Structure 1
Amino acid sequence: MGRDLLHKNEERTSLNKDLSESEQNPDRRGRPTVSTITGFRQDEDLHWVAELSCGHTQHLRHQPPWQSRAWVLDPAQRLEKIGQPFACGWCAQVRE
């Protein structure tokens, strides 16, 4: 029939910011500002993209004089970069 207006809602406590349940991104993207390179792929324009351990990606273009990354064009040099630390700009933005 009618709703009991005196019925109290059971409220839950707020989550502590340090708990994993309170993460904005449960897949942990956005947590570290320094990741590692896990692999490379090319986009539809054939530019090289680094795949990072945090789940983000980063274009790595060699376009002198603006961007000098000749190593990205060489398969052996790309392979050497896998596992190396990489400062993720996306993660840094999330932390600010």
Structure 2
Amino acid sequence: MRKNDERASLTNAPGESDPPTDGRNAHASARIVGFHQDEEGHWVAELSCGHTQHMRHLPPWQSRPWTQDAEARAARIGEAFACGWCAQEVTADKEF
């Protein structure tokens, strides 16, 4: 049997771009290098690792009001971001 590895729901603290604290590999961090909008108008962060991450502002579920302001988005460029895609690849490598 496989162990069900449950994790607590994420909260606003620590910040969404802080290093991971849930057991994921800290080396799976990238930096935000830019933003673009998808076909529905949601903002997508472009990461230095080559992956992308939606940064939706859909209160009350996802509260990222900074995505709606060009200056606030620009201020996030260069910020560290724990890439979930990279973390999954690291975890997948460990299972084999």
TM-score when scaled to structure 1? 0.66
Q: Among 17, 27, 31, which residue is 1:36 paired with? A: 31
Residues 25-65 of structure 1, C-alpha deviation per residue, up to 9 Å, x if partnerless?
A: xxxxxxx4110000000011111000000000000000011
Q: Residues of 1 paired with 2:63 and 2:38: CA distance?
A: 19
Q: Which has the larger radius of gyration?
A: 1
Higher RCO by CA contacts (8 Å cutoff, separation 6 or greater): 2
State the SS of the aligned residue for 1:51.
strand
Amino acid at match of 1:95: V
Amino acid at match of 1:50: A
Shift, 1:73, TM fit = 0.5
Q: Residues of 1 paired with 2:32 and 2:68: CA distance?
A: 16
Q: Which blocks of at least 5 consecutive residues in structure 1 are unaligned?
A: 1-31
> Percent of aligned positions with the same letter in both sequences?
62
Q: CA RMSD in A?
A: 0.6
Structure with the higher helix share, 1 or 2:
2
Q: Among 14, 38, 47, which residue is 1:52 paired with? A: 47
Q: Among 71, 90, 94, which residue is 1:95 paired with? A: 90
Q: Which blocks of at least 5 consecutive residues in structure 2 are unaligned?
A: 1-26, 92-96
Shift, 1:66, TM fit = 0.6
Greater than 3 Å deviation, 4+ residue runs: none
Q: Residues of 1 paired with 2:60 and 2:82: CA distance?
A: 22
Q: Residues of 2 paired with 1:63 and 1:45: CA distance?
A: 13
